Amino acid sequence: MSQTFQNIKGTFDILPDPYTDDGGTRIAPSAEWRYVEGTIRDVMERYNFDEIRTPILEPTELVARGVGEATDIVQKEMFAFERSDTQYVLRPEITAPVVRSYLQHHLDQRGGVQKLFYIGPCFRAEQPQKGRYRQFHQFGVEVLGTSDARADAETVAVMMAIYDELGIEDMRLRMNTLGTPDRRDEYVQALRDYLEPYTEELSETSVRRLERNPLRVLDSKLDHEQEILQDAPQLIDYVSDESRAHYDRVQQLLSDLGVAYVEDPYLVRGLDYYTETTFELESPDLGAQSALAGGGRYDRLAEVLGSDEPVPAIGFAAGMERLFLALDAAEVERPGLPEPDVFIAALGEEAEQWVFRTTQDLRSSGLHVALDLKGRSLKAQMREANRQNADYTLIIGGNELEAEEATVKEMEGGEQEDIPFAELSTYLLDKCRPDRA
RNA sequence: GUGGGCGUAGCUCAGUCGGUUAGAGCGCCAGGUUGUGGUCCUGGAGGCCGUGGGUUCAAAUCCCACCGCUCACCCCA
């Protein structure tokens, strides 16, 4: 290999053409990213979400609080650094930044409920492995300023709509409620009491979790632990009547919308500011990395971030890389490179000059026009036109300049006709872009 | 941090009981009469065989070290 630079480990370049990275993952071409992002934006717009863009750089403290001091993310998996006594972090997720922005700019004063969506890169410092990058890309929404069950339902609905719109069908939506922190404490106590006698049989991980983050024990993937958990107390039996009613309402709304889901009492989140509804979307096609998106209510986060007033809120976050895996698995058709309407081939210096100028004119009129920039032979220019899949190729040489007519070749069939220079743009627009003609 | 795998052309990969000038397919470039693409034919460019050291008459091939990449474990917003 040569001595040039390499991209940072765990990052990847998005190129005009698709390729396979060293880990064997297909990296989608830029046109596909554009298409997918465009579709996400379209659906978001239809659901009346407004875009928010926050900096990639945030104060470390914001993320530490927003994600939870005790979590591994904050402990060791963030890109954090110091400069002139300020602690910076490359954001590992976008919920805390959005809430920060909401509070900072008093977005509640825009009136009504704030329905925001975002899409952009995030960072983790963890060891990269297959499909898990240090720079990855997320999209999601945050609905701030209401605890109404309809906000929960709309959040789930817009998430589902995006995957539907993109043509991903094999999905499973799991839902649960966490209730409120006070009731959860009671539940955690009950869970601890229940698991106490089994301590010997639990894995190291689970014992550690039982200490630090007891709800996550429910996440265990070990069969024998799942057996133990079979008869464990259920969170749902501990939540308040209000929480229960909220959850029922959310479920009813989703059913009304025709959104299918399964209840999963073991779907949990560890931190206190997560409340009430929680959900996760997974695709069985993806094996181990099946989670496409997840979210839930975080009615206490704003206060954790310093707000005097609580800001009830719910959102979801989803990974772009995962989404592409799902699109690949589902063999969903995506657009390729944009192809030129017209390639203009020039023969000789005089023609080159005319072509260069005319190219600009045709572009101004709305056509996608390509030309040779290397002074190559006509044959090479034709080859190039073919490679780029141009619909038409114009051939301009001495004869054409003399007659003031372009030789216009329709590439698929190969027929040629002469079109007077004066009529060129009308002719081509009519053929290639009837909507703009 | 721990364990495994892999580094040969732009890409995918052959080639290792050590032995002429290191190969294929694809891609790229150029020709196959004057100014015409795709298919076909011909030719060409492009490699410090990851780096450094060692063994040997001789190393892509054997040995050692290093570097890089990668997968898995841990963890997962």
Dihedral angle over CA of A67, A71, A75, A79, nearest 10? -40
Distance A119 CA to B13 C1' (A): 38
Nearest nucleotide, CA A91 to C1': B77
Q: d(Cα A250, Cα A52) in Å, to the nearest integer?
A: 26
Q: What interface predicted TM-score (ipTM) does this complex get?
A: 0.85
Distance A249 CA to B27 C1' (A): 59
pLDDT score recorded for residue A57: 94
Distance A6 CA to B68 C1' (A): 10
- Of A388 and A194, which is predicted with more confidence? A388
The pLDDT tens digits of the residues spanning A25-65 come to 889 999 999 999 999 999 999 999 999 999 999 999 998 88
Q: What is the mean pLDDT of chain A?
A: 89
Longest pairwise C-alpha distance within chain A: 97
Residue nearest to nucleotide B5 (CA to C1'): A23
Nearest nucleotide, CA A126 to C1': B75
Torsion sign across C-alpha atoms A343, A346, A352, A355: negative
Distance A183 CA to B73 C1' (A): 36
Residue nearest to nucleotide B9 (CA to C1'): A1
Distance A414 CA to B40 C1' (A): 18
Q: d(Cα A394, Cα A411) in Å, to the nearest integer?
A: 10
A135 CB-near residues (< 8 Å, 6+ apart): A8, A10, A11, A12, A121, A122, A123
Q: Within 13 Å and on the Cβ side, how many CA atoms surround A267?
A: 21
Distance A14 CA to B52 C1' (A): 34
The pLDDT tens digits of the residues spanning A205-231 come to 666 666 767 777 776 666 667 777 777
pTM of the model: 0.91
Residue nearest to nucleotide B30 (CA to C1'): A380
Nearest nucleotide, CA A411 to C1': B37
Nearest nucleotide, CA A416 to C1': B36
What's the one-letter identity of residue A400?
E
Residue nearest to nucleotide B11 (CA to C1'): A19
Nearest nucleotide, CA A134 to C1': B76
CA A393 to centroid of chain Cα atoms: 38
Nearest nucleotide, CA A406 to C1': B35
What's the average model confidence in pLDDT over A243-258? 96
Distance A382 CA to B30 C1' (A): 14
Distance A30 CA to B6 C1' (A): 29
Lowest-confidence pick of A192-196, A262-266, A362-366 = A192-196
Question: pLDDT tier at A3 (50, 70, 90 boundaries)?
Answer: low
B strand bases under 7 Å from protein CB? 1-2, 7-12, 28-32, 35-38, 48, 50, 68-77
Distance A1 CA to B23 C1' (A): 18
Q: d(Cα A119, Cα A121) in Å, to the nearest integer?
A: 7
Percent of chain A surpassing pLDDT 90: 61
